[in-house]
Structure 1
Amino acid sequence: MSDQQPDRKRSGFKETTRVAAARDRLRDAVSGHERTESIPLNAADGRALAEEVVAPRNVPDFPRAAMDGYAVRARDTFGASGRSPEVLRRADEMAPGAAVRVHTGSEVPEGADAVVMVEHADEFGGDVEVFDAVAEGENVAPVGEDVDAGQSLYDPGHRLRPSDLGMLKSVGVREVTVYDRPRVAVIPTGEELVESDPDPGEAVETNGLTVSRFVERWGGEATYRDAVTDDEDALREAVESHLDHDVVVTTGGSSVGERDLLPEVVSEMGEILVHGVALKPGHPVALGIVDGTPVVMLPGYPVACIVNAVQFLRPALKRVGHLPLEAMPTATARLGRKIRSEPGVRSFVRVGLTDEGDEERVATPTRASGSGVLSSVALADGWVEVSEEREGIPEGETVEVANWEWSA
């Protein structure tokens, strides 16, 4: 399918681009920035590494007791049993026939090669009775059991998680070099938009707020500005003044109506990659490039805006910021009501999830149409994606419900 149609103001979208092809065009036109910074571990959660991290030391870097008990030479416990315990000398230093008290995580003294668990021994006077023989190395964590010095831990582009930070601290890393958060300018457009208390014909601006919060959740840094009116000069100035950002995203004005001026403005400033995508809701999305900066033009209807932000803005932001594009988590459910969709169009149907016993979940569409009804998204538990090859999904079929509100 082609998205390049002449005179859309009169003809509308005769042809549209499939979702995967549109994403590919945007991805191929976007490259990662090279800005980095060194930050302490406690500020690095969720950040993308810019350099390989190699362990500077072993963990543990000494033989470590894996249990509370007594450090011993294994051969001194040979034959020990409940009926015939081996009697060792309680000592502070290791020697043949000795047992040294140790605690979980403490160093095993030189000369010892095993630890008898405290519940398998009794101490009386200056002696220790051992009721269970141990093998060499038993209950001892050797040097480097967890991490070897020089071991490669993480590659560039890895998105750091809390468990990663604990690992890095354990090997002696205190700072990491990460890519700067991708900077995203969020520009709401529309002469009818107000911040609060709308008069007849006006609407409260919500798309910019929603998109800017998504940007932060996805690992970016949002610059959220006031709404711009539907005027070519004003729109041009707004886009131009934010080209120092890694991505510019606009909301509204992306279709083919008289006040939908953004695609034409961006085309004059740079290049339109896609205008019109075969998805529902929100086919009037446009994707462009101006002076090397991707411009994602989202539809003004709130539901369409969110769907397209997830499909196009999220992967663009991730690519620019060297962040992994992770799949959204899904829940399996039985479809409670038939979904209708148009062949050749990828549909995103909002659903609510309910439990009906025996751990079975049921997904019921909250609304199959109405891309301006924000509550159909805000009150939904996720969406069911219907591929271009299908003409709906019958009631009772098992479906995957994607959680688009996920933070990663």
Structure 2
Amino acid sequence: MARTHLILATVAVLQLVALLTSAFSPDSPTDRRLLVLVDDVSVKSSHSLFFSSLRSRGFVLDFKLANDPTLALHRYGQYLYDALLLFCPSATEFGGSVNLAGILEFVDSGHDLIIAADAHASDLIREIATDSGADFDEDPAAMVIDHTSYAVSETEGDHSLIASDDFINSSVILGSKKIEAPVLFRGIGHTLNPANNLVLKVLSASPAAYSSNPKNALSTPPALSGSAISLVSVVQARNNARIVIAGSLSMFSNRFFRSGVQKAGSSIKYAKSGNEQFLTELSKWVFHERGHLKAVNVRHHKIGEADEPAMYRIKDDLEYSVEIYEWSGTRWEPYVANDVQVQFYMMSPYVLKTLSTDKKGLYSVAFKVPDVYGVFQFKIEYQRLGYTSLSLSKQIPVRPFRHNEYERFIPAAFPYYGAAFSMMAGFFIFTLVHLYSK
């Protein structure tokens, strides 16, 4: 019996080591270990195209029921997964040691999250979305309805099947290739918390859309309407964790991936919806296959020297440089931009300069140390839509001139020198006149 327990413990340790060795690292920031929580195991087959696209890119998926009593996000102080996919909209509670606080802590520790809801979304899923910056319609039976941008079908229906093409204008989030076909969406809408500037709409509803129960006649103005309704949103947290909030689980399904689409009012019928391209590109962003930056080799030195000094003197000429690279999903490539700025900072920026780039990853700038001494910082606070933020700081003291470093005579002070000598000459003349005059 003891030997059996020892073997089981050894197997558990080996599995944990295997998981940890494939974890997120600075050399390869792409998520690799994904935990997928589902309400029903049938989701694994009904949404297999989306999951297959993840596997083809090297992801390891672990499927579990949301109420599995063995659920755990971390063990022995280490997280077992790099990202979490909540494909369980009706889950009222999670099994094992997973709960609302645990999921929020998972994100706070820098891990990524996808939330897929639908019209049956539970209070638990809604609360997770709310804490992420998105508020779903409070009406549990409400769905997004659009009588102008619905998907044309053989049956008229209630126009809750929407064909949306109002995408965010960002090649970092949605890729450089334009999404031609509209995205099919059936589910619930949400609004963004105006106090949270980290959440963005990726797929918006049209101005004619509204949120209501499609089975009931609309007697009062809907709580959500127009372009304020977000169908899919993303969050780029301050710790560079990423979240996708989608109001439709069906949009990830094989049926919506393969379905043709024709938007109402348009004569163009697409043989395939834009769901696969849209969600594939979005998954590349949320799992850090794109838009992840790193900065290395931060250096500064006096012009004409190579070594970094312990301090600078006022009015010294210096050069500051840093290398910035972007992760392409397989390797680090030079990041090219013209809006990277450095501050020479003490309480407030005394110098603000835009860095020039050699388009090979190196950014540099030269400037003169201001005529103010104290403890300064080189600071870069770089935030750009879709990219992970860079926050760099390096402290350096600045001293004044020593007593023997000043010029003997300052040209600007010649008037004062003249005033002093003229005063002495005048006093001498006055003394002679006073002593020898009768």
TM exceeds 0.5? no
Higher relative contact order (CA 8 A, sep 6+): 1
The TM-score range, normalised by the shorter chain, is under 0.3
TM-score, normalization by structure 1:
0.26
TM-score, normalization by structure 2:
0.25
